[in-house]
Copies of this chain bind each other. A is one copy, B any other.
Amino acid sequence: MLPHGDLHCSDCHIRHRAVCSRCDEAELQRLEDVKFYRRYEAGQRIVWAGDELSFVGSVVSGIATMSQSMEDGRVQMVGLLLPSDFIGRPGRSTTPYDIVAASDVTLCCFRRAPFEQLLEDMPHVSGRFLEMTLDELDAAREWMMVLGRKTARERIASLLVSVARREANFSLVPITGDLRLHLPLTREAMSEYLGLTIETVSRQISQLSREGVIALDEKRRIIIPDLIRLEEETGENLVPA
């Protein structure tokens, strides 16, 4: 594998989804000049809530979690950061969220000040950034529905479907036959995302597995024999009668 410093933007596999997706070659060159990569191992924290975050950037590969905690230890995940997702908020030097690498993670980073300059100078960057932020907002609101109104079983299904959809979107693999999903989240991480306890997550996954809606492959890998069937379990009945 190439050392990451040598990776060209034009070869980057998040090229067409990330904050840079609208840039032309000349613009990419400008990003290339100031970008740098950071790598984190699974389990490593990327930032701690309240800490200074000197950079912003995109997830290139791997999965990170973003969560909020209460003083008494309750934790709620507020975002699952997949490749092309953006970390950090321009104009603010700290994050209110803990960000942790769930798997090995590579980030494509910019120091904050230069990135803010890019936002000002390059409409292709700022426009895409705004669009991504609006998409994030929609996603957060959809997740409010999950947390506020769905049963444990529906929550599990919603999580799996949302990751499956993004994965399918990304690899452009048509969703036929078995879908083998890599979900590098512990039961604890899932429970934090879903607003449940570890035990409830475990029980519901066992249940879905017993019923054949999903199958458990090796660790952190789930097989979805029939995505439509799983989607029905989310409670969002997309199939009109």
Contacts and interface: CB of A to CB of B under 8 A. Distances in A.
Interface of A: 68, 70-72, 74-76, 78-79, 89, 91, 96-97, 120, 123, 126, 129-131, 133-134, 136-138, 140-145, 147-149, 194-195, 235-237
Nearest to A235: B70
User: Quick one: copies of this chain in the complex?
Assistant: 2
Nearest to A74: B149
Given A68-B144, A148-B194, 9 more contacts: A70-B235, A70-B237, A130-B130, A137-B140, A140-B140, A144-B144, A147-B147, A147-B148, A148-B195
Contacts of A76: 144-145, 148-149
A238 to B, nearest CB: 9
A144 B233 CA distance: 22
B195 A149 contact: yes
Most chain B C-beta atoms within 10 Å of own C-beta, residue among A74, A79, A236: A74
A100 to B, nearest CB: 16
27 contacts: A68-B142, A68-B145, A70-B235, A70-B236, A70-B237, A71-B236, A71-B237, A72-B235, A75-B149, A76-B145, A76-B149, A78-B141, A78-B144, A96-B138, A97-B141, A120-B123, A126-B126, A129-B130, A133-B133, A133-B137, A137-B137, A137-B140, A140-B141, A144-B144, A144-B147, A147-B195, A148-B194
The DSSP consensus for interface residues of chain A is helix
Contacts of A79: 141
A155 to B, nearest CB: 10
A43 B63 CA distance: 43
Contact of A68 (B134, B141, B235): B141
Contacts of A144: 68, 76, 78, 140, 143-144, 147
B91 A131 contact: yes
Nearest to A194: B148
Contacts of A137: 133, 136-137, 140
A89 B138 CA distance: 10
Nearest to A138: B96
Contacts of A131: 91
Nearest to A236: B70
